[in-house]
Structure 1
Amino acid sequence: MKRLVLALAMLISACARPASPGVTELTYATPYSPNHPFSKADQAWMGFVEQRSHGRIRIRPSWSGALLSSDMSMEELRHGVADVGLITPIYARGGTHLLRIQTGFYSGADSVESQVALYRCIAAAEPEIGRELQGLKVLAVQGGSLAGIVTTNRQVRSLADLRGLRLRAPTELLTVLESLGADPVNMPMADVYSSMAKGVIDGVIAPGDTFKALHFAEVARYYNTLAVPRGAYPARAMGVARWNSLTDEERAILTEAQPVWEAALAREIRVALDKGMEEARARHVVISGVSPSEQARFDALYLRDSEANARALARFGLDGMRAFRTARAAVRGRDRIECGGKS
């Protein structure tokens, strides 16, 4: 409640300083600092929008969680706490059952671009995605680097070493890790550093970029490069009411900016991965992998549990298997995605 009151106070304060005549000012809110890789991509989008509009659209950023929260950002955008913001449907408090589970359908989509393409296949075939995003206009979809296993004090050399480890993991991996004897928990990434430092968790399923971007190299000693599939999801959005208040020309510019934003995110994700692994090596993080047979075993478990999670959506009245089948049919090979048989 205090966060919402503060956010509304800041919004009212902003409204008291109107933009120059002929200029539309949009507030952009994110939980990340200006130097985070995601924020660098956000800044590339801001630059494009302002240049493409010849200064008629101005973006005013709010960094480091000053306006939006991690778990309520979708609802906050719907209510106009900010005009545009970073959203994480996988952490939303209810109402995003399919958006959460579909991120586990991405085995075989190894690049950011293929992940985004696969999300669009699923969203186009599954009306429930649109219902879960009601009240929001999606401005960018985001994928990510394949994750590995970051641990503080226990090295993982094989899947058997996961037994007993308390690991932060995304929703789609919880049952996979449980079947391997781990104790998985789901929490916002912003809470992981302190939880590892305090010994609350033993590690996290995360890509190598987090060693620098989230400073995990300061608290982790080990990294296993087990290739954990990564799903895509709508990650930047605007409230529909605010979207509808814009002119046709302004909406056209923001639509044109979507592939620019997504390309910037993909670029920054790759740069961040390289920097993160450099940081890990510089801080003497021990890096290891698993055997091909162990990787194949994990992949089989991942797909088995993805299907089980899809079936389990029936308890919410959702046909998760339709989305699962759409995803598996679209993956024609490593990074080759075809929606409905068409590339």
Structure 2
Amino acid sequence: MTASILAQTSSPVPQTSNPEAQASSPVPQTSNPEAQASSPAPEAESSEPQKDSPVPQKDDPVMTEPCQLTYSIFFPAEHGQCKAAIAWAKQVELRTNGQVKITVFPGGKLTDAKQCYDGVVRGKSDIGMSCFAYTRDRFPVMEAVDLPLGYPNGLVATRVVNAFYQQVNPRELSDVKVMYLHAHGPGLLHTNKPVQYLPDLYQMKIRSTGLSAKIIEALGAIPVAMPQGDTYKSLQKGIVAGTFGPMEVLKGWRQAEVIRYSTNCKQIGYTTAMFVVMNRTKWSSLPKNIQETITIVNQEWSDVHGLAWDALDDQGRDFSIQNKNFIFELSDKEVEKWKKAIEQVMYHYLDKTQVKTYRVKPILIAYIN
């Protein structure tokens, strides 16, 4: 399965616009430590009516005025993933000829990262974006994607999570309409003390969530759960000695300012899968031609987010070097030790998932192997 999925990720996916070019354009940064580095986000196309939009059906609900939707995102407005989401909202409005208008609320203004999914289910927001890992044990099947499979980049991770969801279609997401999913590049170690060998990590307090916390524990460190928004101050005050995340966090969350070292352990690189979901009742209220139009945009936009993650990783690496931080590469011998240490995370996950969702176990084993 892994081989086939990764092979699929190398083939080009048609885009309405050029997301790769859009994902590489720089955006000015704010000076606030808690503010986010911005990133690439695609621009909407011309405002002319879309001639190729699906044609309304006779039994479709009649829309006498534009449908107004709210979109809750925990990323701040300056962050590249928020910008990509705003561009998606604009594209939906454009392609539906203004029949759907989406107001984006960044920075957790409507619902915070942990409450985002339930907020969509309960109608606090019509659409929401957050991480599966922020709601522990709520999404046991989708957590499979977060395992340390050695993801090379965000585009691959994004395509894997969408392919996995489409194949498995887990019941844990049945109470919402999934727009699309995306996932960041390989999660690495960023610390205040050098970590070149496994014993260096012993008893270090490392910010980590979900399955990444299990990885940190298996490596001999102490996991400390917290959202990204709290990590800067926690590193600054010494509450944690490091964080486990993609290179993106070094600029996107300004964490390069409060760490000194990064350890490139991409061979055990995990990811954090993220959802973009819509309230099911609200989705059902839309005419079929509008649903079809949004679905087309969704199919294009997951890659936009994947490419944005990769551009953000590059920016994070450069920003960290500018801050005179060091990046360590693990030796081949050390890589094997780290891989051996995290095997228990794989086996524990399979045992847990076998009880709850036995039917997907063969698929999960194929992904891991």
The alignment's TM-score, normalised by the length of structure 1, stands at: 0.82
Choose which of 239, 249, 255 in structure 2 pairs with 1:210.
249
Worse-superposed segment, 253-262 or 182-191: 182-191
- Paired amino acid for 1:160: P
Choose which of 218, 222, 233 in structure 2 pairs with 1:183.
222
Choose which of 253, 273, 277 in structure 1 pairs with 2:293.
253
Measured after TM superposition, the shift of residue 241 of structure 1 is: 0.9
Counterpart in 2 of 1:172?
211
1:22 lines up with 2:65 in the alignment: yes
Q: Indicate if the aligned counterparts of 2:188 and 2:246 stay in contact, CA closer than 8 A.
A: yes
Alignment of 1:219-234 (within 5 A): 219-227=258-266, 228-231=268-271, 233-234=273-274
Deviations 1:139-185 (A, max 9, x none): 12112111211112x11122221112111123223333323321112
Measured after TM superposition, the shift of residue 303 of structure 1 is: 4.1
Q: Indicate if the aligned counterparts of 2:183 and 2:306 stay in contact, CA closer than 8 A.
A: yes
1:53 lines up with 2:101 in the alignment: no
Measured after TM superposition, the shift of residue 280 of structure 1 is: 0.6
Gapped runs of 5+ residues in structure 1? Answer: 1-19, 330-343
- Paired amino acid for 1:149: L
Deviations 1:200-222 (A, max 9, x none): 11111111111110010121111
SS at match of 1:29: strand
- Going from structure 1 to structure 2, the CA distance change for 1:133 and 1:45 (only over 3 Å counts) comes to same
1:85 lines up with 2:128 in the alignment: yes
1:41 lines up with 2:84 in the alignment: yes
The alignment's TM-score, normalised by the length of structure 2, stands at: 0.76
Partners of 1:124 and 1:140 in 2: CA distance: 10
- Going from structure 1 to structure 2, the CA distance change for 1:35 and 1:165 (only over 3 Å counts) comes to same
Q: Indicate if the aligned counterparts of 2:113 and 2:130 stay in contact, CA closer than 8 A.
A: yes
Q: Indicate if the aligned counterparts of 2:155 and 2:309 stay in contact, CA closer than 8 A.
A: no
Counterpart in 1 of 2:284?
244
Q: Indicate if the aligned counterparts of 2:74 and 2:130 stay in contact, CA closer than 8 A.
A: no
What's the RMSD between the two structures over aligned residues?
Answer: 2.3
Measured after TM superposition, the shift of residue 36 of structure 1 is: 0.2
- Going from structure 1 to structure 2, the CA distance change for 1:310 and 1:302 (only over 3 Å counts) comes to same
SS at match of 1:256: helix
- Paired amino acid for 2:98: G
Counterpart in 2 of 1:339?
none
Q: Indicate if the aligned counterparts of 2:208 and 2:223 stay in contact, CA closer than 8 A.
A: yes
Worse-superposed segment, 264-273 or 114-123: 114-123
Counterpart in 1 of 2:11?
none
Counterpart in 1 of 2:182?
142
Measured after TM superposition, the shift of residue 187 of structure 1 is: 2.4
Question: Identity over aligned residues, as a percent?
Answer: 21
Measured after TM superposition, the shift of residue 314 of structure 1 is: 4.7
Partners of 1:71 and 1:61 in 2: CA distance: 18
Counterpart in 1 of 2:118?
75
- Paired amino acid for 1:173: S
Partners of 2:96 and 2:269 in 1: CA distance: 38
Counterpart in 2 of 1:5?
none
Gapped runs of 5+ residues in structure 2? Answer: 1-62
Partners of 1:306 and 1:78 in 2: CA distance: 31
Counterpart in 1 of 2:153?
111
Partners of 1:150 and 1:161 in 2: CA distance: 13
- Going from structure 1 to structure 2, the CA distance change for 1:101 and 1:191 (only over 3 Å counts) comes to farther
SS at match of 1:260: helix
Q: Indicate if the aligned counterparts of 1:307 and 1:321 stay in contact, CA closer than 8 A.
A: no
